[in-house]
Amino acid sequence: MSGFDRDDEWGYRAMEPSRCCISSIALVLLKTGIVHSTSPTGERQVTVDYNQMATAQKLLLFWRKPARKCWWDGIEVDLAGPGEPEKIIKLWARRVWTLELSLV
């Protein structure tokens, strides 16, 4: 409802230099749910999808105020070499997801 689809491709995606960070940027038309049409009699009609309008209003809250979600993700890694007993450690990675909206 926000203008993004699951199968969309990012307009720009790159690793940041000297950091373990991926930046993804996409330019999309914000779908507001407002549809203008003309009836066969020539009368102009406006319909509003209120669910889509509510989603657009929520996204506009992130304009100039980015949102961040952070969490820890852990996987088990075996450091033992060939023929050595298992030496399993837990490797933790801090994940950060940021949503920022810019109006063009």
Segment 77-84 shows an average pLDDT of: 92
Half-sphere exposure of residue 76: CA atoms within 13 angstroms, side-chain side: 5
Q: Count of CB atoms within 10 A of residue 38's CB? A: 9
Over residues 22-56, the pLDDT tens digits come to 777 777 778 888 888 887 888 888 888 898 888 88
Over residues 1-24, the pLDDT tens digits come to 455 666 777 777 787 788 777 777
Burial of 71-84, coded b for 16+ CB within 10 Å and e otherwise, reads eeeeeeeeeeeeee
Structure token pair of residue 54 = 């509510």
Coil vs helix vs strand at 63: strand
CB contact at 8 A, 92 and 84: no
Position 58 pLDDT exceeds 60: yes
d(CA 3, CA 6): 10
**pTM metric for this prediction:** 0.49
